[in-house]
Structure 1
Amino acid sequence: MTLNHRIKVKTQALKLKNVWVQVSVILAWFIALQFIALLFFKKGFLLSRPVLSNHSECAILPFDSTEFDLFSNDNLEKDSCWTQKSFDRAVIVVIDALRFDFVMPNDPSNDNTDLNYLHSFPFLYEQTQQNPQNSLLLKFIADPPTTTLQRLKGLTTGSLPTFIDAGSNFAGTEIDEDNWIGQLAKLNKSISFIGDDTWMALFAPNFNSKLTHPYESLNVKDLHTVDNGVIEHLFPILENTDETDEEWDVTIGHLLGVDHAGHRYGPNHSEMKKKLEQMNSFIQDVVNSIEDDTLLIVMGDHGMDPKGDHGGESLQEVESTLWMYSKTPFFGRLENSFYNTTAYGENHRSVNQIDLVSTISLLLGLPVPFNNLGFPIIEAFLGPESDDLRSVAKADFLTAAQIHKYTSTFGGMLASDAAAEKLWEEVQQYAKEGKWNLLVEASTEYQKYVLEECHVLWVNFDVVSMVIGITLLAFSAVMIYVYARVLPVELDSIYALLLKTVSSGASTFGLAFWVASRVIRFPFESPAYSLGLGIAVGIIVGYFGVVATILFSSNKILHLLFAPKDKWSIVAFAFTILHVLTFTSNSFVNWEDGTLSFLVTTMGFIFLIYSLQNLTDDRSKVMAAYFSLLIMGFSRLSALIRVCREEQGATCITTFYENGTSTASFNHVLILGFVSLILPSTISSFYTSTANFNGSASVWISYGLRIAMFMTTMFWGMDIAENKGWVGLGPALTAFKEVKVLIARILFGVTLFAANYAWYRGALCVKIDFFNNGNNSGQKVQARILGYSNIYGSTLFLVLINFFGVCLIASKPLAGVSLSLLLVQILALLEILDLNDLYVSPIGPISLGLLGASHFFTTGHQATVPSIQWDAGFIPAESIVFPLTHAFILFNTFGSQILVALAVPLVALWKISPSKEPSSLLTITNRASCTLILYQTVVTLSSMIFAMHFRRHLMIWKIFAPRFMLAALSLGVTDIAVFLGVAVFAGKAVSYINQVFNT
């Protein structure tokens, strides 16, 4: 190598290194700006409700008692508050996810009489029918989100949750607001607790530590440990035969087996039937163990959907069970239209879960918690003869007075509501006049009105923060567009100025806004939000300041901005717009999976027509047609894999799970096994066409991919064998589970860490072939490099195979099939782009974005909270293990987006031989990747705009809010994956290949 050549190589390597740093920093700017934008929109849109720290006091009634004679003759016991208690003690049994139809008898007229759960838990219904004065069975309606932590808050405080509370289901903190458990503790009552450890995060200081036995709650694969623990400890406590010899006043047991059976198997499964039968026997034993002065409450905290999950607001998720029992006659019945109690038979009336709070408080002689919005359950105060209307009126008036005190303290629109004040005046008037029937009606109407207003007004949207978030994200979209589609590629001399200007702008504005917030509380009282806004403004001002200088100085700004675009840019724009328009209607959002499948198929059809019209040689036409049909066919094939959302109705049939369960079937494993046989050969055929099935490729594809897919298939086969009960109990089952976990961890570690480390150390899919080009014995042996023409693409695609392996072990069998189809579609798309010379066109990244979005749905997901496959977190462990649990849920949920984000550099690198200008190649690669980010940004921006527009829509929390959250999370995942794909993997590949071949 000559000196001049060495200098040229070193100069080129240094230039490449600088560009590598530059593109990484530019991506970091875009990501930072988008993160700040999402943070502001979240601040304005997903607000947590304000919580008052006030507590009700025993000695202070919620009204001036001198004005009413309703309580003038009360002689309260020393440990009673506000009103005379009805029970000295209480046993509260929470059976998690006890859907109401689980406790109903088998109806011969029902078409679904073969359901496993029917008539498996008949005790509650039979007792209520046989002893109506001792028992009360009601539908127990939960407020969404139907997650356990939020339901426990509602069941103890009587307050309403907000949508964002669903995200804190795994991070409970001690409840600060007033609740009946805290009120019991203030009266020095001894509270015993056994079961779900979620209660410990909320109420631990209030429990008698000697009578407390918590169990880990989030291992959905464990159906028995918590339930057996409750059964083991509850009866000795009830009978005072436990070794502590401690007295108790209230005992709480929270069982999880029904919920876990639903998550793991679905409601219509033999394991669910066994678990309900166990609960039936358990409650019978509890009834036999309690004394006459004890109130027994059996309830569910929520229901479950047809596949056993919960979190949303479908009827089956919100409709749970409440059963109250007393050994002495206590409960009454009243048929009255304003209570909607026209039938207690098969229909059973419904009560809100928050209604339990005031009911249990008054029955146990406690003050009603300050923030409570629920109302007493009338049957618990009527008396066994159903004639004690005065007791009902007293309970209703006390609760209504507390609600009025709360709304007056809370202030705002509730305190100044004229209609509410008029209703409250009627309540007071009837209380003074002693008109009990009218007082009951007026109190009920007042509570209903306040509750409805709270449902409407609870979330006071911060429109300013929402607009800031939308504006910042819109600016980020414009910045990315200018960088990816407007600025010239060669701007090396300008990038240094751009880096300095943006960095100084971000730091200067950020510091200024932070100081202003600390001194004059502007622009926000929170210094953190002010700092974020300052950084965002600094990035925008610095970026556009330099860009404007570049464009105006070149006198090309009008040409660059408004010049007619090529037809593929128009097609890419059209596809993007068609996707984002789905957010304009709740019906479109409900059927987004079908829309995306149609768009991908249409995209393949356009590629087919264009290739047949524009390619000249017949072989290229045939290949382009083949690859186009491959994209179209696999799109329709993957669309057969679906999970239906409630709004899609009976026209949609879920195929992702075995019928009536939340598990995969053995047929799904067989399909995955078949795919594992043909996928490596399919990928190798793409490599063989460019002579790249050499070197690392043969190891990665022939051995690594085959083994990973085979072990994944074996894992899911073992999982189904365990679910079906094909494995014996005891040591055999324990060893079986340990082998499963070992397989998952080995695959995860090898594919995510070991394989990528081996790739980073230098993996090239080339081979040097020596040959003698002649017959003369003196002819020198010559060498040629096989795979040289696709050295970048073949090498970088190995990274995709690695992450495919990670996603595969985190996904259920049919999701693995969907991801396999996606991998082939990506290869087919790359071939089409190469045949039509569309390396720099936006259609490549946009097509990848559509593929990733479409396969999100075909991997068993929907834009709903219940569709999250939480059980994926327990693939690598029987309990929650950070960060394994979280990583598996991430790769399970966003596997398709991760794969397309890592694949987008291939748009610019597929079938490219070592470049003489590797720095320019890396810049083009980064711009292709930014085009994918731009697509996802526009999708997220649209979801934000319509979420804000529909913020008072009936379906906001059921449809539009979850769709925004999905878009925001997808954008975050795409940003990070693109950064890794460009700044780490593509940068390394280009740099290493440039170094090897000294181009």
Structure 2
Amino acid sequence: MRLGSGTFAACCVVIEVLGVALFLRGFFPTPVRSSSRTEHQAEPPAPEPSAGASSNWTKLPPPLFRKVVIMLIDGLRDDFVFGSKGVKFMPYTTYLVEKGASHSFVAEAKLPTVTMPRIKALMTGSLPGFIDVVRNLNSPALLEDNVITQAKAAGKRIIFYGDETWVKLFPRHFVEYDGTTSFFVSDYTEVDDNVTRHLDKVLKRGDWDVLILHYLGLDHIGHVSGPSSPLIGHKLREMDSILMKIHTSLLSEERETLVPNLLVLCGDHGMSETGGHGASSVEELNTALILISSAFERKPGDIRRPKHVQQTDLAATLAIGLGLPIPGSSVGSLLFPTVEGRPVREQLRFLHLNAVQLSKLLQENVPSYTKEPGFEQFKMSERLHGNWIRLYLEENNSEVLFNLGAKVRRQYLDALRTLSLSLSRQVAQYDIYSMLVGTVMVLEVLALLLLSIPQALSSEAELEVPLWSPVFSLLFYLMFLVLSALHVIVCTSAESSCYFCGLSWLTAGGVMALISALLCAVGSALAKMFADGKFLSKTLAKHQVCIRRSQGARDRSPRFRGANVFLRIFGP
């Protein structure tokens, strides 16, 4: 089969691009996304489960808090608050953690530990990919379902001060904002003063529902001087005084309205021992997360150690607290301590809404979702929940109702934990099979190009496709059968989802046929090269024999004999 050099090169380039694309698809799996909810149209909330009884809870529960203040300190790793530095430099925060009405957590961030992906994780509950590291330099508008968009759609008035990354992600969501640039890392005073200067005025006003403050100074000190710098203590003390100002203002307002507010202290990422971030060290992944509200009950002498949670859990918790739908792409679970003081029916309602959202996301992103243990646990929890509702509507206040409610709650929490882990695993793991298929395609084309360089450089490139040769056609069909059998075995036994296994059998078979044909073409080129090499060696040997014979005949001739004698005498 004859191919022009241009056609041959074009075919190789196309196959190379397909192989590289398949490899990258396995190396950078697509994030878990929900396709059932758009920015302009949200699905109605799932109704309360019922078992032979009608339920009147078909709408979202009312908000738990009147106002929410999010104080995000860039680079706030967990030991800055819960360690010795927190005790020394943040006394008011330490008091709230140990004795106040608060819940403390160590929130684990995921890679990449840079600002923009972490803001997306906090507000969407999803796990951004490594492509967001590039976008961190120029953040585009966030179109994915998130808490800020839901709050704006519900008529919430949102005010923001701080890192201008928020303004780029949410360009038309804030009724008032003042962005500060994070480019000048040597500035750790003005970037925070530009945020704090608005506080006194805003806290006295009542025309807002959500206030977001993003402080950059701590992170800038870490970049310049590291986490052991004396400036870290001064900055933590400054942040502690600001937290006290916000908290006391919210408490004084609650005395008038009698409706609880929520103050969230959190970090987007941590800080390494050299002061940087972006990698996967424990210091960069673990951040502080404190939820403060008078709605949280705390018994005297109750000492609570910070629990380890995922950073993505905040989105679902904020949505429940504001009475909003949970973002469709969120893989996080509700931080249950924030609602454990509510009646049992409300607790189960919150957990059910979160479990429904995660189960829908699992169905949209995992083909074999029915085999997932989290989905089975969710279905079991929903059945038990329906039985509890039936007993509750029958006004059965016996111990059976209490024990069943506790069992349903535990079942929901286990289901949420398993569902969240299954969805997070879809992003965190590599698709080895797709990477392997793409690598084989790329290597075969490279080998074929290297073996065909002499022909490809000529005006006519001759590529022998060996399907008509008995030997190579047998090799082609054997390879095709073996690869097809391996494909079936891998796709039927794989526990996790695979992009290449998700393709149609016709498409996968075409790829297997292409790989088999390329392998045969490489074998044909190798055989031809060896055959040409043997022919060339034989030809050279014949030429050398002929040259020796001609030289011997020339030496014996009378005409050249005198010249040879002359060269022996006078020659060099």
What TM-score, normalized to structure 1?
0.41
| Equivalent pair of 2:47/2:57 in contact (CA under 8 Å) | no
Tell me how far apart the structure 1 counterparts of residues 374 and 83 of structure 2 sit (CA, whole Å): 42
CA 1:93–1:269 in structure 2 vs 1: closer, same or farther (change >3 Å)? same
Q: After TM superposition, give the deviation of residue 556 of structure 1 in Å.
A: 5.0
Q: Provide the secondary structure at the position in 1 that maps to 2:104.
A: strand
Q: How does 1:816-895 map to 2 (within 5 A)?
A: none
Q: Provide the secondary structure at the position in 1 that maps to 2:107.
A: strand
Name which of 29, 37, 41 aligns with 1:47: 29
Pairing 1:85–2:69 present: no
Amino acid at match of 2:23: F
| Equivalent pair of 1:194/1:214 in contact (CA under 8 Å) | yes
Tell me how far apart the structure 1 counterparts of residues 94 and 223 of structure 2 sit (CA, whole Å): 25
CA 1:130–1:45 in structure 2 vs 1: closer, same or farther (change >3 Å)? closer
Structure 2 partner of 1:382: 340
Structure 1 partner of 2:115: 148
CA 1:213–1:125 in structure 2 vs 1: closer, same or farther (change >3 Å)? same
Q: After TM superposition, give the deviation of residue 261 of structure 1 in Å.
A: 1.8
Tell me how far apart the structure 1 counterparts of residues 48 and 373 of structure 2 sit (CA, whole Å): 22
Q: Provide the secondary structure at the position in 1 that maps to 2:70.
A: strand
| Equivalent pair of 2:333/2:354 in contact (CA under 8 Å) | yes
Tell me how far apart the structure 2 counterparts of residues 222 and 545 of structure 1 sit (CA, whole Å): 63
Q: Provide the secondary structure at the position in 2 that maps to 1:220.
A: coil
Tell me how far apart the structure 1 counterparts of residues 334 and 124 of structure 2 sit (CA, whole Å): 14
Name which of 160, 173, 191 aligns with 2:158: 191
Tell me how far apart the structure 1 counterparts of residues 131 and 167 of structure 2 sit (CA, whole Å): 22
Q: How does 1:628-643 map to 2 (within 5 A)?
A: none
Q: Provide the secondary structure at the position in 1 that maps to 2:317.
A: helix
CA 1:44–1:378 in structure 2 vs 1: closer, same or farther (change >3 Å)? closer
Structure 1 partner of 2:487: none
| Equivalent pair of 1:333/1:379 in contact (CA under 8 Å) | no
Structure 1 partner of 2:80: 102
Q: How does 1:68-217 map to 2 (within 5 A)?
A: 72=56, 82-106=60-84, 119-131=88-100, 134-163=101-130, 165-208=132-175, 211-217=176-182
Larger Rg: 2
Tell me how far apart the structure 1 counterparts of residues 278 and 408 of structure 2 sit (CA, whole Å): 37
Name which of 297, 307, 310 aligns with 1:352: 310
| Equivalent pair of 1:332/1:380 in contact (CA under 8 Å) | no
Q: Provide the secondary structure at the position in 2 that maps to 1:172.
A: coil
Tell me how far apart the structure 2 counterparts of residues 206 and 37 of structure 1 sit (CA, whole Å): 42
Pairing 1:258–2:218 present: yes
Cα deviation 1:573-629 (Å, max 9, x = unaligned): xxxxxxxxxxxxxxxxxxxxxxxxxxxxxxxxxxxxxxxxxxxxxxxxxxxxxxxxx
CA 1:557–1:84 in structure 2 vs 1: closer, same or farther (change >3 Å)? farther
Q: How does 1:478-497 map to 2 (within 5 A)?
A: none
Q: After TM superposition, give the deviation of residue 128 of structure 1 in Å.
A: 2.6
Structure 2 partner of 1:740: none
Pairing 1:427–2:381 present: yes
CA 1:268–1:469 in structure 2 vs 1: closer, same or farther (change >3 Å)? same
Q: After TM superposition, give the deviation of residue 305 of structure 1 in Å.
A: 1.9
Q: After TM superposition, give the deviation of residue 478 of structure 1 in Å.
A: 7.9
Structure 2 partner of 1:949: none
| Equivalent pair of 1:104/1:121 in contact (CA under 8 Å) | no
Q: Provide the secondary structure at the position in 1 that maps to 2:297.
A: coil
Q: After TM superposition, give the deviation of residue 39 of structure 1 in Å.
A: 4.7
Q: After TM superposition, give the deviation of residue 82 of structure 1 in Å.
A: 0.8
| Equivalent pair of 1:144/1:163 in contact (CA under 8 Å) | yes
Q: How does 1:936-955 map to 2 (within 5 A)?
A: none
Tell me how far apart the structure 1 counterparts of residues 285 and 96 of structure 2 sit (CA, whole Å): 24
| Equivalent pair of 1:373/1:447 in contact (CA under 8 Å) | no
Q: After TM superposition, give the deviation of residue 350 of structure 1 in Å.
A: 1.8
Name which of 277, 289, 292 aligns with 2:237: 277
Q: How does 1:479-628 map to 2 (within 5 A)?
A: 498=457, 500=459, 552=532, 555-556=535-536
Structure 2 partner of 1:220: 185
Cα deviation 1:526-578 (Å, max 9, x = unaligned): xxxx9xx99xx99x989x9799679827835899xxxxxxxxxxxxxxxxxxx
| Equivalent pair of 2:113/2:269 in contact (CA under 8 Å) | yes
CA RMSD of aligned residues (A): 4.3
Amino acid at match of 2:73: I
Pairing 1:443–2:412 present: yes
CA 1:87–1:541 in structure 2 vs 1: closer, same or farther (change >3 Å)? same
Structure 2 partner of 1:683: none
Tell me how far apart the structure 1 counterparts of residues 312 and 54 of structure 2 sit (CA, whole Å): 25
Name which of 232, 240, 247 aligns with 2:207: 247
Structure 1 partner of 2:356: 401
Tell me how far apart the structure 1 counterparts of residues 505 and 462 of structure 2 sit (CA, whole Å): 23
Amino acid at match of 2:279: G
Amino acid at match of 1:222: D
CA 1:551–1:143 in structure 2 vs 1: closer, same or farther (change >3 Å)? same
| Equivalent pair of 1:99/1:319 in contact (CA under 8 Å) | yes
Name which of 248, 262, 267 aligns with 1:288: 248
Amino acid at match of 2:415: Y
Name which of 33, 40, 62 aligns with 2:46: 62
| Equivalent pair of 1:220/1:264 in contact (CA under 8 Å) | yes
The structure whose RCO (Cα within 8 Å, separation 6+) is larger is 2
Q: How does 1:668-817 map to 2 (within 5 A)?
A: none
CA 1:187–1:477 in structure 2 vs 1: closer, same or farther (change >3 Å)? same
| Equivalent pair of 1:172/1:201 in contact (CA under 8 Å) | yes
CA 1:437–1:38 in structure 2 vs 1: closer, same or farther (change >3 Å)? same
CA 1:237–1:470 in structure 2 vs 1: closer, same or farther (change >3 Å)? farther
Q: Provide the secondary structure at the position in 1 that maps to 2:62.
A: coil
Amino acid at match of 2:70: I
CA 1:69–1:125 in structure 2 vs 1: closer, same or farther (change >3 Å)? farther
Q: After TM superposition, give the deviation of residue 504 of structure 1 in Å.
A: 12
| Equivalent pair of 2:22/2:438 in contact (CA under 8 Å) | yes
Tell me how far apart the structure 1 counterparts of residues 81 and 538 of structure 2 sit (CA, whole Å): 71
Tell me how far apart the structure 2 counterparts of residues 82 and 126 of structure 1 sit (CA, whole Å): 35
Structure 1 partner of 2:557: none
Q: After TM superposition, give the deviation of residue 465 of structure 1 in Å.
A: 5.8
Amino acid at match of 1:141: E
Q: Provide the secondary structure at the position in 1 that maps to 2:290.
A: strand
Q: Provide the secondary structure at the position in 1 that maps to 2:197.
A: helix
| Equivalent pair of 1:124/1:323 in contact (CA under 8 Å) | no
Amino acid at match of 1:230: V
Name which of 299, 312, 324 aligns with 1:366: 324
Tell me how far apart the structure 1 counterparts of residues 309 and 355 of structure 2 sit (CA, whole Å): 17
Tell me how far apart the structure 1 counterparts of residues 75 and 19 of structure 2 sit (CA, whole Å): 37
Q: After TM superposition, give the deviation of residue 163 of structure 1 in Å.
A: 4.9
Structure 1 partner of 2:552: none
Structure 1 partner of 2:281: 314
| Equivalent pair of 1:332/1:381 in contact (CA under 8 Å) | no
Structure 2 partner of 1:601: none
Give 5+ residue unaligned stretches, structure 2: 1-10, 389-403, 465-503, 540-572
Amino acid at match of 2:33: V
Question: Which structure carries more helix by proportion?
Answer: 1
CA 1:457–1:413 in structure 2 vs 1: closer, same or farther (change >3 Å)? farther
Name which of 469, 474, 482 aligns with 2:439: 469
Tell me how far apart the structure 2 counterparts of residues 184 and 549 of structure 1 sit (CA, whole Å): 69
Pairing 1:325–2:292 present: yes
Spell out structure 1 runs of 4+ moving beyond 6 A: 29-36, 56-59, 68-71, 502-505, 521-525, 544-547
